[in-house]
Structure 1
């Protein structure tokens, strides 16, 4: 699902009448995982039990953990489409204080190009394909179908928000949403691999994305491959409770089989990396995810032989 739902734009300020909660429930029903924002338009801080990372974080954070905290801790990772959680007594205090509603773009299967000023908007209009546009206080959000690694300040006034990020919900926007183009993926070209002293390297694998540049011998169009891959990634991400590794195996095998008659190369390694990242995002240990995807790719090759 994507942020196409027709939820009305929040009216701003604190709403004791519960309008922020209603917005969140409507978003969740449309498959968009919401979370409350407090004053300053930032997520609510962690509870005492989760302070200073004592709980290890939620399972889909950078540091995988076993946190079962019922409150909306851990920023974007607390976003959920489970209406029982959103409407629970544990979340009620946050909704009473909420100043706005946000959502996790990656969890909704989309990428938000956050254009923070007029110059950034002008650049996007000249450079990027048109898509669904949401007006913001200072600029615009351009929303594309598909996910990628998030990164701030990819150019002056431009942030990319998708996986492991949140974006403020400002309404459904206007225009037809299109697939995430290579031009946006190219904005995020450098993955930091050396952690700061005392930090832990992310459990989410380095983001490698498929595009035509790594598939010079593929007989399929870029749109065909990207559409199939994005649908497969959505199936993996939907397995939030169990079965993500098995789903990743199936998706890898199916997608690889589509290229059995291509002269190659088709960029199957990049396709595999995207599937691995999707599985890790929902809690599959990276080594396990890599084995499942590798086995899926190999199974497709053996079947074609």
Structure 2
């Protein structure tokens, strides 16, 4: 093994010893390609059943580090196994799965994004990157790219490049960070049938929930009952009801392979809450907290 590969493995083992799942990254900061047994047969399917776009590692038990973040491991025996050692020889960097370690990375891609974060986000541990900074918070949450110009949120279902321990004390994840993803999904609705959805939340369907184990009727019936409970409280209590409905609905998907279209469900809950006078920010926080509680 070459010296660069040895250094990568040493860094990977150090991270793993702290409970951080790691994976090798090749040139361009991208994961190694899937092996032939796991190769894609369509944009959403692979021969092994696959783990792409899933909320937790799926049925694949490939000994290679296939499927990007979903293959990240903190197991020393896996990291030092022959298939992984072959992968480390091809690697150029160490990646890690923040959500798997209970972390969230605010990836600030340029000086303007860093300046915005310093003005609006709670201070936490920072790591210098080539063009900006990584801000690392304690706590996991859904990931989303482009929540603001030059700002990505990397946590569940994503990986980040390891660039060192950084400086400062990690702060626990706050509502200000969680709200970035909710606001981004409201401002950038998912494409439906090749066009952008209107400001009205789009219906929950298999377009946004390709990995949900429930039938469409089961999910929509439950969602409609929850929306009715929120709208039945125009005077007071709608915010708390939104939290409760969000927690209940998210819990129904706890054992799905995912994705389950929770962002679409969140948009409906927020719209119902605001329709009876709950402020936008409060409604978004209630939904985020409900999902987290589940």
Same fold at TM > 0.5: yes
How far is the alpha carbon of 1:84 from its aligned partner? 0.9
Q: Which position in structure 2 is the counterpart of 1:78?
A: 71
1:163 aligns with 2:151: no
Gaps of 5+ in 2: 41-45, 195-205, 214-218, 220-229, 231-235, 261-294
What's the TM-score once normalised by structure 1's chain length?
0.63
- Greater Cα offset, 49-58 or 23-32: 49-58
1:31 to 19, 42, 45: 19
SS in 2 for 1:176: coil
Shift of 1:19: 0.8
What is the TM-score when the length of structure 2 is the normalising length?
0.65
Q: Which residue of 2 aligns with 1:87?
A: 80
Secondary structure of the residue that 1:36 maps to in structure 2?
strand
Q: 1:32 to 1:64 in 2, by over 3 A?
A: closer
- 2:290 counterpart residue number: none
The partner residue of 1:43 within 31, 34, 45 is: 31
Shift of 1:176: 1.1
Structure 1 unmatched ranges of 5 or more: 1-13, 207-213, 218-263, 287-305
The SS at the match of 2:81 is coil
Moved over 2 A (4+): 14-17, 58-66, 191-206, 264-280, 283-286
Report the CA distance shift for 1:93/1:17 in structure 2 as closer, same or farther (over 3 A): closer
Which structure features the higher share of strand residues? 2
RMSD, matched Cα? 3.4
The C-alpha deviation readout for 1:213-271, integer Å capped at 9, x for no partner, is x9x97xxxxxxxxxxxxxxxxxxxxxxxxxxxxxxxxxxxxxxxxxxxxxx65933334
Indicate the SS of the match to 1:69.
Answer: coil
From 22, 26, 34, give the equivalent of 2:10.
Answer: 22
Counting matched residue pairs gives 219
1:131-280 to 2 correspondences below 5 Å: 131-189=124-182, 190=185, 201-203=209-211, 267-272=243-248, 279-280=255-256
